Chain A
C-alpha cells in the first residue's frame, strides 16, 4: 500500500518537474511567457494522466471520480490559467525590478515554482468542490430495487448504555408515536400488509439493568454486549438481528422524537438506500439547545469529516439514520469502527458502493445528559477517521455487493446436499447462503423446542472464515425468531462451543467448515450438554424443515434476545483443569494453528503455563494464506516439522481450522500417530483413575487395547464416527475415547472432543517423563499400520462379502467381525474394510508386525477387490 502511495506521489513529482523544467528551459530560450507555460503545463498534464492511469489506486473510490474526463479537463484548465496568470504577473514584477537582464534562469525557476504552488492549491480546492457536487448529484436518485424481504415494516435499533431510567419510556414512545406517524403518512392501501414496528434494544455492556428494563418494557429483541464496546458496535449488533424491511437507528434519549423517524422510513420506501437526518439543514429547528461545547464539537466533527469524505453532507453525526434492510446488513458487516465515528464509515461505504442517499431535516429535542465527552472523543474520532481512510486506500473494504443484495434462491437439491452425516457443509454462496442459514437457525430452533422444551437458549459461535460473520448473524436471526435466546460467543473453536454447550446445558451451533478450503462453510450442531446431533438423530429433521417452505412468524411470537459473551477465559480455565499445572516444565513448543481458530484458543490456554512457545501462522485468516488447515495431509505439517528442527523444540502441535483436532510431531519431527496419541492419553487417564474404561475405534492400533490392559484399564472397541463414540461413552461410562483421526473425547469435557485437552495431557506426561518425546512414544509404537487406503469400487457391499467369504475359506482360524464393515484378525496381522458413507469407496486399514509385512498384506487384500 505504502508503495502505491509513493507511486502516486512520484507521478505528481514527475509531472511537476516536467512542468517546471520545460517552462524554465523555454523561457530561457526566449519564448513568450504564455507559450512556454502552456506547452509546459500541457506536457505535464499529458504525462500525469498517462502515468496516473497506469499506477492509480484501482480500489480507491476517490479515483472513480477523479477519472471523470470533464472534471479532469475543467480542473486542469482552471489551474493552468491560474498558473499562467501568476507566472506572468510575477515575471512582470521581477522584470520591472532588475530591468538590466530580463532575469536569469534562477528567477524564472523561482516564479514558476510559486506559480505551481498557487495552481496546486487552486486545483485541490477545485477538485473537491467539483467532486462534492458530482457525488451528491449521483446519490440523489432513488433506486428501484423492489421491496426488501423482512418480517416487519420497520426495525428500530436503539443502542443504550446505562439507560435503565429512561429506556422504558423511550420504547413506549417509539411504539406509540412512530406507529401513529407511520400510519398517518402512508396510504391505507399499503398498511394492510404485515406492518409492525420491531424494537431492538442493544445494551452496550451497561452495569445497570438496562437490558432487563428494556425487555420488560416491550422491546422485541434485546441484545446484550459483554462489555462497553461503543455505539458503532452496538448498532452493528442490533442491525444484525433486525428483521424489518427498513432499519432505523436512533439514540436512546430520543433526541429526535420517534415520529420523525417516519419521515425517513417513507423515503426508504420510496427507493432511497440510505436516509440520514440532518440537524444543520436549513429547515432544522433546535428545540432544546445542546451545551455550547457540544455544539461547537459537533461543528468541528462535520468540518473534519469533510476532509475524509467525497460528498458534502450537512450532518454526518446525526443519530437518526435509516437504511434498506438488505443494504444495512452488508454495510454494517463491512464496517469495523466500534465507536461513534462509525457514521463516517457508513458514508464512505455509501460513496464506495454508489448508493442513493438523501438528507432529511430533523428537529433536535435534546436532553441534558449525553455520554459524549468532547476532548477524549474528539481524539478518538480522529484516530478512527484515519483508520477508515487507510482501510479505504488499502482496499480492505469489500467490493460493491451485487444488487439487489437479497440472496438469490438456491435450489432445494443443492441445499439438501449440504446436510452430511455429522454436520452441515457446503460452498458459499452457491450451495448455501445467509437465507439458508436463517432457515437452518429457525428449523434448529423448532427442533430444540420439540426435543428440549425446557431449554431457553442456544449457544452460537463461529470460526474466522469471512462468510462466518453474515452466516452467523443470519443463524442468530433464525434461532431467535422462534423465541429462543442466543448466547453469542463470537469467534470460537469447536471445542470451546462444545464446552459452552456442556457448561450452560444449552444446545449449540458452530459456524465452521473445519479444515475445508476457504470457499466452504458449515454448521456443527449439538443439543444440551454437547450431545451430538448427526444426520440420523436430528439433522434430517432440520433438513426437512429447511426444504419445506419456512413457517410464517406469528404476530404475537416472542423474539429471542441475544447475549454476546466471551467465554474464552472460562474455557481456558476448564482446559487447564485437566492437568496439575504445577507439574509442567518449561518445554519448548512449536504450535502451527494454520491461521485457524487455534490462534485464538491455544495462546489463551498456554498463557499462564511455563511453556516457551513458537506460534506458526497464529493470525486468524479464513483465506488460509499459508497452507490448508488440514494437518492430516503430510504436506501441511512440513512447516511445523522444519521449525521444530530449527529451534530444537520438544514437541510440535498442529491444529486444524476449527482447532478441535490436533496432530503431534516429536522432537525429531516424526509424526506421532493418532493411535499412539490415544494410547499415551489413555495411559495418563488410567494413572489418575485406575480401572477406567477407555474406548478406541476399530481402526486404532492393537497397541491401544494392549496399553490399556497393561495399565489396568478396560478397553472397548467401537465403530468409527463422532456421534457413535459420544453415545458409546455415555453407555459404557468411559473416561476417555480416542480415534485414529485425531479426535480425543473426554468424559469430564461433557464427552466432547478437544485436541487441546489431549495435547495438554501429553505435555504433562512429557514434563513428568523428563526425556525426549520419542522415548515416551517408542514403547507404544509396536506395529506397522498402512494408514487409510481408499479404493473406488462399483459396489462396496458386494466386495466386502466376497473378501469375507475368501478368508472364511482360506483362513478359518482368523477371527472375523462386522462391527463396522469387515474386520479380520489373523493374530500377527489384521485388516478392516469399510464402505464410505457418501461415495462408492472402500476404506482399507491394515496393521502388521512390520512395514514390509504390512505392504504385502495391503496388496493381498486389494487384489481381492477385482
Chain B
C-alpha cells in the first residue's frame, strides 16, 4: 500500500496537530507523542480520535524501534 506523498504531507494527528509516522506495511499512521494509532483503509486514513487505537508500552517501543530501523520519518516538520 502506498499513500500519495502529497497526502502524507498534509496528514496530522487531529488531537495535537503534530506529524505522524507512516508504516506502509501495516497500513497504520502512528502518533508517538500521544501513542495513538490510526488505521488506513483502502488508502483512506481514518484520522478520527474516536477510532484511533491507544498503544501500550511494548507496542510503543516496537513501533518506535521499527521506525528507526526502517528509516520512517515523520510526515512533516522535520
Q: Is the CB of A565 within 8 A of B42?
A: yes
Contact for B7 among A487, A504, A565, A569, CB less than 8 A: A504
Q: Is the CB of A224 within 8 A of B42?
A: yes
The closest CB in chain B to the CB of A211 belongs to: B42
Known contacts A505-B7, A528-B6; A565/B44 CB under 8 A: yes
Summed over the interface, the residue pairs from A and B with CB atoms below 8 Å come to a total of 35
Q: Type the 1/0 row for B40-52, where 1 means its CB is closer than 8 Å to any CB of A.
A: 0111101111010
Q: Is the CB of B42 within 8 A of A573?
A: no
Q: Is the CB of A505 within 8 A of B48?
A: no
A529 interfacial contact with B, CB 8 Å: yes
Enumerate B1-41 residues with CB–CB distance to A below 8 Å: 4, 6-7, 10, 14, 41
A577 interfacial contact with B, CB 8 Å: yes
Residues of B within 8 Å of A577, CB to CB, are 14
Q: Is the CB of A569 within 8 A of B48?
A: yes
Enumerate A561-617 residues with CB–CB distance to B below 8 Å: 563, 565, 567, 569-570, 573, 577
Bound Cα distance from A374 to B31, whole angstroms: 45
Residues of A within 8 Å of B7, CB to CB, are 503-505
A175 interfacial contact with B, CB 8 Å: no
A324 interfacial contact with B, CB 8 Å: no
CB distance from A608 to the nearest CB of B (A): 10
Number of interface residues of B (CB under 8 A): 14
A245 interfacial contact with B, CB 8 Å: no
A446 interfacial contact with B, CB 8 Å: no
Q: Type the 1/0 row for A522-535, where 1 means its CB is closer than 8 Å to any CB of B.
A: 00000011000000
Number of interface residues of A (CB under 8 A): 18
Known contacts A573-B14, A577-B14; A529/B46 CB under 8 A: no
Q: Is the CB of B14 within 8 A of A504?
A: no
Q: Is the CB of B6 within 8 A of A570?
A: no
Bound Cα distance from A570 to B48, whole angstroms: 6
The closest CB in chain A to the CB of B7 belongs to: A505
Residues of A within 8 Å of B46, CB to CB, are 570
Q: Type the 1/0 row for B59-78, where 1 means its CB is closer than 8 Å to any CB of A.
A: 00000000000000000000
Q: Type the 1/0 row for A196-233, where 1 means its CB is closer than 8 Å to any CB of B.
A: 00000000000000000000000000001000000000
Residues of B within 8 Å of A567, CB to CB, are 44
Residues of A within 8 Å of B41, CB to CB, are 565
Known contacts A505-B4, A528-B6; A570/B47 CB under 8 A: yes
Q: Is the CB of B49 within 8 A of A573?
A: yes
Residues of A within 8 Å of B4, CB to CB, are 454-455, 504-505
Bound Cα distance from A563 to B42, whole angstroms: 8
20 contacts between A and B (CB under 8 A): A454-B4, A457-B43, A487-B44, A502-B10, A503-B7, A503-B10, A504-B7, A504-B43, A504-B44, A505-B7, A505-B10, A563-B42, A563-B44, A567-B44, A569-B48, A569-B51, A570-B46, A570-B47, A573-B47, A573-B48
B residues with CB within 8 A of A: 4, 6-7, 10, 14, 41-44, 46-49, 51
Other than the known A529-B6, A570-B48, what 16 A-B pairs have Cβ atoms closer than 8 Å? A224-B42, A454-B4, A487-B42, A487-B44, A505-B4, A505-B10, A528-B6, A563-B42, A563-B44, A565-B42, A567-B44, A570-B46, A570-B47, A573-B14, A573-B47, A577-B14
